[in-house]
Structure 1
C-alpha cells in the first residue's frame, strides 16, 4: 500500500513539474519573434504581414510606445559586423556594436533633446554632458540584469535598428518624425546657442541670389538696372554698356565670387538683368542662372566652376517664356524645370547643358493659384517663387499660394492634388518658408523612401495690398504667420498636419537643412511682406527645428544677430557647418541711411552643434582614404577619426549628403539632404550605399558629412552619378 501511495505522489509531482516547464516555455516564446529572442541580432527572413493591416500605414497609437520591427520584411538594416547569421545571442558586445538591451535604447527627451530621467536609462550626469567613452556600453543600472524579471511581467519589444525608414506615410505630426530613431543611443547635446562673427565688412554687392559652388566659392548677384552698386567692376576704366539701361557705360559690379574661407571678393561680369531670377547647378558643378527682368527675362547664363576670370556667359532668349520670380527644380537626369514667373503660366525644361532649344509646357495651375487684383491695382499674385521639390517617384511637388499638386515634369500632367493649406499665403510676396524633409534610405535601397514637406510662416492673403504703395498710401504691416504645417506627399490620402508653431512669426526668412538632419530658420521679418519698404520688425533670432523631438519641444531659439536681414537677403550652409549670411536691401537703390539700410557686411553664424565642448566627439573625415566619386546604388567607403579615440559602431554615426541650393527670396531651390544607408562600420571605416537613382538624388556635387550622435564633421565634396 505504501508503494502505491508513493507512486501516486511521484506521478502528481511529475505532472506539476511538466506544467511549470510548459508555462516557462510559453513565457520565453513571448519574448521571441519568429522563434528568435527579441534581443538577438536581427535575422533576415521572409516578409511578415504588415501588423497595421493597412498596407504600409503605421498605426499612430503604437508609434511612441512600441517601435516598429525594421527587419520584418527582410529589407531593413543589416546586422552589425560579426553578428551576421548568428543563431544565438552574443554574451558581450562584439566588434564595437551595441547589444540592443545594453542601455543604448534612446530615452525620451526634453526641450533641449536631453535624456529625461526614466529609471534605469537615466544617465549618471543627468543627461547634460556627453556620456564618457569608457561607459559607452555600460548599462545605466550598473550592470544589473533585470531582463529575466521584467520579461515575466510583459514581453519587451524588439528595439529598432537605427537608420531604418518608416512606412511611406511616416508617423503623425504630433509624434517624432524619426521613428525608429536615427541613432542607437541618446544624442549628444549642448546649451550652446551659437556665435556670430563679421566675416567681411564690405562685400560691395547685395546678395539677392546666392549659390555655393563645389569649390568653396559662393556666387551672388543683384539687379543690373537700378543704379550703381558699392563695388567697381574693375580694372579701372572697364565700363561695358548696360543693355538694360540704354547701353549707358556701367563701371560697377553686380555679381561677385566670394571665397567662403578667406573672405576674398572678386567682381564678376553679368550682362542682362538677373533681378529676381532663379538658378541651379549642372551635374558638372557649373551654375545656370535663368530669367530676370527686361532683356534678362528669357536669358540663360552660365558661370563656370573653375573659370580663372569669373563671369557669366549669356544666351539672350534662351528660354521659351519670361521667367521673373520663377523657381527651378533639378530632375533625375540633371535637367531642370524653370516654373512660373510674373504673368507666365508655364514652365521651361532646361537640359543639363548650356546650349539647347527652348521647350515650354503650359501649366494652368499657376493661373489658378494667382491671387486676383484688388480694386484697380495689379494682381496680388501671392504665388511667385513657388516651392518645388522632386519626389522619390520622379514627379515634382509644387506649392503656390495656398495650394499644392504633384505633376509629371515631362508632360505637365497633374499626378495628385492636395488639400488647400488654410491660414494665409505662403509664397512671394507673403514669403513663407518651405523644405523637403531629409530623405532616409535603407542600406540596400529596398525600402520605400518617405517624403514629407514642411511649410512655415508667410502672411495673410491681403497682407501685400495692405502695405505696398501700388495699392495703398496708408501702410499696414500685418503680423507674419508663425504656424508650421506638414504634408506626407506620397500618402494615399495626404492631409496637412499641424506642426508646433515657431517661437516667433517670420516672413522672408530662409529654412535651411543642416548636416545632421535638423533645420534652421534664419533672416526675415515679423511684420509685412516682401517688397521695397514693405516689412518692419526684423526677426534677428535664428531658430533650430528638431523634428526628432516630441511635439512642443521641437524649436529652440539661438543667439540673435544685431544686423537686420530683410528683403533680398540670403544664406547658405557651408562645408564647415557654419552659415554664411549676406545681403539685405529693402530699397529700390543702394541706400545707406534711414531704416534698414542696404547691408554689405558678410556674417558667419556657428549653430549649436559647433559648440567647442563637442569637439572631442566630432568626427573628422580622412579625405585621402574616402571615396569622392559615388555611383548610384553602389557601396562606397568613408574613413574618419575622432579625438576621443572611440571605436564607433553601428548606431553611433550617420552619413549625410547635402545638395547645395540656390537661395533667393526666402526659398532654397533644389535643397536636399540624404540620410544614406549604412551597411557596416569597422575600425572607423564606414561602408555606405549610395542613393539608388537620380529620382532620389539628382546627379551632381554634394557635401558629405559624418554625424556622431547629432554632431557633424566638416563636410567634403563628393560627386554622385
Structure 2
C-alpha cells in the first residue's frame, strides 16, 4: 500500500477546488532504476547505470538526447512560443552590476560600486551615510545597494562602506549573502547581508589575505567558500569564519600561466564537481583541484578558439546534475562554456577595432576518465552574456554583444536575442533563438532566475560612472523575460505545488514527499521531474554557485484525490552534489515548471 493513501486524507480536507491551477513542465523524468526486493522488470539496472560517463560511447551521439534512457522530447510539450519581454521597473535605484535572489524573502539584491559616489536612490533619512574621507568628514548619502521586491518592484536602499566594484558572492547555509573582494579598500573585504526585514551589511575590510578584484567565489561541499583569482592575485584562498582574518593563500600555476597581454583569466569559471573537487577554468585551460590537499589532480584539454574569461568574457554553466534513487559511484558532471572573444579583442577594442565575438560552445564531462571538449555553434556570436539555468534543465543564453570585449566602451552591436540551449536535445539541434529585447544589455549586466520561472534582467553600464548622454547609457530599467515554457497556451499544463504538503527542510539521501495539483490525467514518473535550483550570483557574465539538480523519483501516485497527485523524491546524497543551504524546488510536467518553493538542505 502506498504511503500516500493513509497520509493524504487529512491535509486534503483543506484543499479548495478554486486552487486547481495547471501549467506545463519540462518532460524530464527519473528513469534510474531502483533496486529492491519489490522492483519489477522495468526497475532493473542496465549497463548505463554503472557506466554513465560512457553513455555516448555506448549509444553514440544520440545519447545527448536520451539521458536516463529515454528521449526527453518524448514527453516534453512542443511550443512555437519565442518568449515575452516586459518592462518591470524604470528605476533599479543602482546600476545592477551584481545581482542575486535572496532566499525566502524573495528579493533581488543588486549593487554597483561606491567609488562613483552617486546612484539613482538616496539612503533614507536617519540612515548613516558613508564617510568618504575621515579627515574632512565628507559623506556619500547615495545608496549603492538595494533590495528589489520581485512582485512589486519596491526598492529598499542599503548602505555600503567598502567598495564592491567587480566583486564576488554566494549564499551561506542559512541564506546570508557572503560577498568578497572589490576595489581598493574593498579588495580584502568579506561582507555579510542576512535575510531579515532589518538586516544590513556587516563588513570586515581585512578578512582576506590577498586583494580579490575580479575574483570568483564558489561554495564547497561543507558550505564553506573558496575564492579564486583576481587582478594581480594568481592564487586562491578559503574565506575565514565571520569576524576572523585569513592569512594563508595558495599560489595557482593555472592562473599564472593563463594570464596574457589582456589578462583574459579574471573571473575564472569555478564549480564544485560531484566528487568534491573544484573545477577551475581560466582563459582557455582548466584543471580539477582537490580543495583538501590543494593538489591539482587533473588537467583538461585546451578549449580552442579564443579567450573565455574577463575581458574575453564568455558564458558558462555547470549543466544540470541528474540523480537517481540509487546513484552510480561516479555522478556525471558537465560544464558548458559559450562565446567569448579572440585573445587580442581587448587590445584591438582599445584602438576602436571591434572584431566579432566567438560563436562556439564547448561542452565537457569533467568527471569522465578521458574528458574532451565537444564543440557546437550558437546562432550568433556573443561576448559578456549570461548563462542562466532554467527549472526544466535548459540554459538561457542572453545579454552581451556581438563584437568587441568587456571594458568601458569596448563592445558594439548588442545581442538582443536570447538563445535557448536545450541540454538534452540531440547535438546539432540544441539551440533556438528567441524573441528580442529592445534594451541593450552590455558590460555590467546581470540576470536572475525567479521562482515563477521568469528571468529578471537588469544593469548594463559601459561607463565609468552614471552617464546618460552616450551610445550605451547607464541602464536603470529592469525587465522580465518569460521563456517558451510560459507560453499562455500551456498554462493548463503547469502544476501547482501544494505548499503545506512539502517540507521546508530536507536531509541528504532521505526521501521526502509533496503533493501537486494538476488537471492532467497522465501524471507519472515518465513526465514529471523535480528540480532544485541554487540561485546564481551574477556579474560580468559569470553566474557563481548556480546549480540545478534533477532528483531521483521514488514514486508518483496520480489522483490520490481528483487532480491531486503525490510525489516521493530522494534528496541529493551529499554536500558535494548539493552544498548545504537554500534551493528553489520546482515540479516540472512535460517541460513546464511550477512556481518554485524554497527548501533548505542540511
TM-score after normalising by structure 1: 0.75
Which residue is equivalent to 1:717?
Answer: 598
1:389 paired to 2:271: yes
Q: CA deviation at 1:413?
A: 1.0
1:497 paired to 2:374: yes
Which residue is equivalent to 1:14?
Answer: none
CA shift in 2, pair 1:557/1:164, >3 Å? farther
Tell me the distance in 2 between the aligned counterparts of 1:332 and 1:496: 26
Q: CA deviation at 1:467?
A: 1.1
1:444 paired to 2:326: yes
Tell me the distance in 2 between the aligned counterparts of 1:711 and 1:236: 46
Alignment of 1:274-313 (within 5 A): 274-306=164-196, 308-313=197-202
CA shift in 2, pair 1:254/1:247, >3 Å? farther
Q: CA deviation at 1:628?
A: 1.8
Tell me the distance in 1 between the aligned counterparts of 2:215 and 2:421: 27
Q: CA deviation at 1:311?
A: 2.4
What is the Cα-based RMSD across aligned positions, in Å? 2.4
Number of aligned residue pairs = 561
Look up the SS of the partner of 2:512 in the other structure.
strand
Judge conservation of contact 1:178–1:547 (CA < 8 Å) in 2. Answer: no
| Equivalent of residue 585 in structure 1, options 456, 461, 477 | 461
Of Structure 1 and Structure 2, which has the larger fraction of its residues in strand?
2
1:10-51 Cα distance to aligned partner (Å, 9 max, x none)? xxxxxxxxxxxxxxxxxxxxxxxxxxxxxxxxxxxxxxxxxx
Look up the SS of the partner of 2:348 in the other structure.
coil
Which residue is equivalent to 1:119?
Answer: none
CA shift in 2, pair 1:505/1:245, >3 Å? farther
Look up the SS of the partner of 1:613 in the other structure.
helix
CA shift in 2, pair 1:640/1:225, >3 Å? same
| Equivalent of residue 621 in structure 1, options 497, 503, 519 | 497
| Equivalent of residue 90 in structure 2, options 191, 194, 201 | 201
1:182-232 Cα distance to aligned partner (Å, 9 max, x none)? 659431111111111111111220011111100211101101012311211
Which residue is equivalent to 2:70?
Answer: 181
Tell me the distance in 1 between the aligned counterparts of 2:134 and 2:539: 22
CA shift in 2, pair 1:563/1:553, >3 Å? same
Tell me the distance in 2 between the aligned counterparts of 1:539 and 1:533: 15
Look up the SS of the partner of 2:325 in the other structure.
coil
Tell me the distance in 1 between the aligned counterparts of 2:461 and 2:44: 52
**Unaligned residue ranges in structure 1 (runs of 5+):** 1-69, 88-99, 101-157, 374-379, 469-473
Which residue is equivalent to 1:348?
Answer: 237
Which residue is equivalent to 2:562?
Answer: none
Which residue is equivalent to 2:531?
Answer: 656
Tell me the distance in 2 between the aligned counterparts of 1:612 and 1:544: 18
Which residue is equivalent to 2:33?
Answer: 77
Alignment of 1:536-547 (within 5 A): 536-547=412-423
1:78-118 Cα distance to aligned partner (Å, 9 max, x none)? 399xx94568xxxxxxxxxxxx8xxxxxxxxxxxxxxxxxx
1:422-475 Cα distance to aligned partner (Å, 9 max, x none)? 11000000100111111101113345311111111001000001112xxxxx31
Which residue is equivalent to 1:257?
Answer: 147
1:153-196 Cα distance to aligned partner (Å, 9 max, x none)? xxxxx9999x9796124427943254323659431111111111
Deviates more, 1:348-357 or 1:213-222: 348-357
Tell me the distance in 1 between the aligned counterparts of 2:70 and 2:506: 26
| Equivalent of residue 433 in structure 2, options 557, 563, 578 | 557
Alignment of 1:387-536 (within 5 A): 387-446=269-328, 448-468=330-350, 474-499=351-376, 501-536=377-412
Greater relative contact order, per chain length (Cα 8 Å cut-off, separation 6+): 2
Q: CA deviation at 1:238?
A: 5.2
CA shift in 2, pair 1:467/1:183, >3 Å? closer
Q: CA deviation at 1:268?
A: 0.5
Look up the SS of the partner of 1:168 in the other structure.
helix
Judge conservation of contact 1:334–1:352 (CA < 8 Å) in 2. Answer: no
1:167 paired to 2:49: no
Deviates more, 1:561-570 or 1:444-453: 444-453
Look up the SS of the partner of 1:464 in the other structure.
helix
Tell me the distance in 2 between the aligned counterparts of 1:538 and 1:246: 43
Judge conservation of contact 2:191–2:202 (CA < 8 Å) in 1. Answer: yes
Q: CA deviation at 1:348?
A: 1.6
1:217 paired to 2:107: yes
1:627-650 Cα distance to aligned partner (Å, 9 max, x none)? 221100000012101133x25122
CA shift in 2, pair 1:86/1:597, >3 Å? closer
- Highest Rg: 1 or 2? 1
Judge conservation of contact 2:318–2:547 (CA < 8 Å) in 1. Answer: yes
Tell me the distance in 2 between the aligned counterparts of 1:640 and 1:700: 24
Judge conservation of contact 1:403–1:418 (CA < 8 Å) in 2. Answer: yes
Tell me the distance in 1 between the aligned counterparts of 2:288 and 2:45: 32
Tell me the distance in 1 between the aligned counterparts of 2:374 and 2:134: 46
Alignment of 1:125-140 (within 5 A): none
1:452-501 Cα distance to aligned partner (Å, 9 max, x none)? 11111001000001112xxxxx31011100001111111112111112x1
Deviates more, 1:221-230 or 1:294-303: 221-230
Which residue is equivalent to 1:687?
Answer: 568
1:701 paired to 2:582: yes
1:310-355 Cα distance to aligned partner (Å, 9 max, x none)? 4211011110110000001100000010001000011120256454
Tell me the distance in 2 between the aligned counterparts of 1:504 and 1:213: 32
Which residue is equivalent to 1:330?
Answer: 219
Q: CA deviation at 1:77?
A: 1.7
Judge conservation of contact 1:257–1:310 (CA < 8 Å) in 2. Answer: no
1:339-398 Cα distance to aligned partner (Å, 9 max, x none)? 010000111202564545444222222111111x3xxxxxx2100000001001110001
